[in-house]
Chain A
Amino acid sequence: MLNQTGVKSDSQVLMKKYEVTGLKDTRSGFGDALLELGRENENIVALNADLTGSVKMSHFAKEFPKRFFQAGIAEANMMCVAAGMTIGGKISFVGTFANFATGRVFDQIRQSIAYSNKNVKICASHSGLTLGEDGASHQILEDIGLMKMLPNMVVINTCDYHQTYAATKAIADYHGPVYLRFGRPKVPNFSLKDDPFVIGKAVTLNEGSDVSIFATGHLVWKAIEAGLVLAEKGIRPEIINIHTIKPLDREAVLNSVAKTGCVVTAEEHQINGGLGDSIAQLLGHEMPRPLEMVAVKDKFGESGKPDELLKKFNLDSPDIVKAALNVMERK
């Protein structure tokens, strides 16, 4: 564990301190919020394809059996049933593993949810490498790309328990298709219970002037760890949590890069099609600057422990540090 007390230089804090309030899984943030939503709004319905416990929808299913629909191992049907349920005012929350929630049912989502503009929330757990031991068949690293390419689709990737809880609540208030991506492992929870969550509004975790680090999902904490190491070297990193990949907070990105002049992106996703791609596209059009991407380099994952996998695939905090030092050289 890195020193989290912050590093002082010339009596100025280069990196803000974040306190870990415990290790929690993001999927539980989703499950707990869904239960709360069920209590608040009788138009919330939920569907799952034989992974109710894994996706943490069991509490909702138990308390609201008439509004919970077991679809069996048949995701294509589930997606379109969820779309149909919105006709008449229901808000459909569909849960399964990210692989089966996107790649397996891309055409169903494209036609019946995105093109039809239905109020369906696709809630995808076990995304990315940190699914762990099940290996590449389940470790989807292409889902952000698939979903962000669809017109009408909002794409969100949350970083910890509290943020996933807040995001789940927020998407219920938004009318339209949403892809909410979260994961399996217990990760440091550092967001506060009352931190606001605004779709499309990036969260600046540390103000800096030397390098902009844009991170999403589980790699936000890795970016914070990297920020502490950089601060020890006397570098002021600007760290921004891009929880909403689409619509991208253009203003936050451009303002930060105008200040720092170089960029690192970090995500648990293929280098093609993810957050890095979106930021490179924006900067290419508006403000070309040196950029390094911390992402999976066009490879499939493999079995292993989540932390081992992040190391092997170069998605760990030292990889973000290295990328930041490299990109600052290129300024």
Chain B
Amino acid sequence: MPDFNYLEKLTSQVRRDIIRMVHGAKSGHPGGSLGCAEFFVALYFEILKHDPHNFSMDGIGEDIFILSNGHITPVFYSVLARSGYFDLKELSTFRKLNSRLQGHPATYEKLPGVRMASGSLGQGLSAGIGAAQTKKLNNDPNYVYVLTGDGELEEGQIWEAAMYAVSHKVDNLIVTVDFNGQQIDGPVEDVMPLGDLKAKWEAFGWTVLEMNGHRFDEIFKTINLARENYGKGKPVIILMRTEMGKGIDFMEGTHEWHGVPPNDEEAELALSQLEETLGDY
């Protein structure tokens, strides 16, 4: 049984990291990062079978995670550091010159924990499918996890990948959509309505699950269901309802904080709403 109390503490600390990183860099994407904090904590501290202190690009015998909506690096780097991929102190270099912590995930500077560059949207799902197919070829029974944004589903390549994964029966892949309903220009509903997403994915032949991305019990239950999909010959996708900016009252539920860092006052106000549980970096 996971220690929910500890996971909540971690989540608060990760949210503090996010605010401090984007404030420190005076640049970055706090909104989507805050909204995915529980998901990343659940993934990196409970779900993934991985070896943070001995990162290998090939990830043989491990689960693999690929971040397709690459702009939410603050939350990604925070959990990578806090789970042991690299020193916590390195978080202070985020988006600065000569850092391994690039604005968007990259392998070029060899940051442990990153296996694919992303940022240009719509590509990570395809890469995850490829990694999952290689696991099958290698008789490696572990999973590949992919996170995409909801606005990202507007990219045509997503639907190419949707067809391919069904055609090739990729059932060792667990895709999650951060369904926060917001993108840079405004609500997804206004920018490019996605319609009935569940029906769309089902029509493509996927098993579709849904969960609240801010509740650990739902995250564990749903991911377990998704894992049981292995061997059934169908890919699975989880529509994860989240709130952009979650945890900080003035950032919640709006696209305004998609890619805007808080100023000094705003950062102070934001941090006053998040308990420092495990020590700032």
Q: Which residues of A contact B (CB under 8 A)?
A: 45, 66-67, 69-72, 74, 76-90, 92, 107-108, 110-112, 115-117
Measured in the bound complex, the distance between the Cα atoms of B168 and A115 in whole Å is: 27
Question: Whose C-beta in chain A lies nearest to the C-beta of B126?
Answer: A80
> Bound state CA distance, A263 and B167, in angstroms?
52
Contact with A along B119-133 (1 / 0, CB 8 A): 110111011111111
| A80 in complex: contacting residue of B59, B130, B163, CB < 8 Å | B130
Contact B129 A88 (CB under 8 A): no
Pick the most buried of B106, B117, B124: most chain A CB atoms within 10 A of its CB: B117
Measured CB to CB, the closest approach of chain B to A83, in angstroms, equals 5
By a CB distance below 8 angstroms, the chain B residues around A66 are 137
Q: Is B126 within 8 A of A77, CB to CB?
A: yes
Q: Which residues of A contact B117 (CB under 8 A)?
A: 111-112, 115-116
- With a cutoff of 8 Å between Cβ atoms, the chain A residues found around residue B168 in the complex are 69
Known: A88-B140, A89-B58. A69 touches B134 (CB 8 A): no
Contacts of A112 in B (CB 8 A): 116-117, 123, 126-127
Q: List the one stretch of B13-21, B153-161, B223-231, B269-277 in contact with chain A.
A: B153-161
- Report if A69-B133 is in contact (Cβ < 8 Å); known contacts: A76-B157, A87-B115, A112-B117: yes
Q: Give the interface size class of chain B.
A: 35 or more
**A84 interface neighbour in B106, B126, B137, B156, Cβ under 8 Å:** B126
C-alpha spacing A246/B137, complex, angstroms = 32
Q: Give the distance to chain B from A73, nearest Cβ to Cβ, in Å.
A: 9
In order of increasing CB-CB distance, the 8 nearest A-B pairs are A84-B130, A80-B126, A84-B127, A74-B160, A77-B160, A88-B134, A85-B130, A81-B130
Q: How far is the CA of A89 from the CA of B229 in the complex (A)?
A: 25
Nearest Cβ distance between residue A45 and chain B, in whole angstroms? 7
Q: Are A87 and B130 in contact (CB under 8 A)?
A: yes
A117 to B127, CA, bound (A): 13
Residues of A contacting B64 with CB < 8 Å? 87
In the complex, residue of chain B having the shortest beta-carbon distance to the beta carbon of A73: B160
Q: Determine the residue in chain A with the shortest Cβ distance to B108.
A: A115
Residues of B within 8 A of A116 (CB): 106-108, 116-117
- Cα distance A89–B132 in the bound complex, in angstroms: 12
- Contact indicator A89/B138 (Cβ below 8 Å): yes
Nearest CB of A to B159, in Å: 9
Measured CB to CB, the nearest residue on chain A to B157 is A76
Q: Are A88 and B108 in contact (CB under 8 A)?
A: no
Q: How far is the CA of A45 from the CA of B107 in the complex (A)?
A: 23
B144-171 interface with A by 8 A CB criterion: 156-157, 160-161, 163-164, 167-168
Q: In the bound complex, how far is the Cα of B130 from the Cα of A79, in angstroms?
A: 10
User: Smallest Cβ distance from B56 to chain A, in angstroms?
Assistant: 10
A77 close to B120 (CB less than 8 A): no
Given A77-B126, A111-B117; A87-B134 close (CB under 8 Å): yes
User: Does the CB pair B130–A83 fall under 8 Å?
Assistant: yes
Would you list 18 pairs from A and B whose C-beta atoms are within 8 A, ordered by A residue? Answer: A45-B134, A70-B167, A74-B164, A79-B126, A80-B127, A80-B157, A80-B161, A81-B130, A84-B128, A85-B134, A87-B59, A88-B58, A108-B157, A111-B118, A112-B117, A112-B123, A115-B108, A116-B106
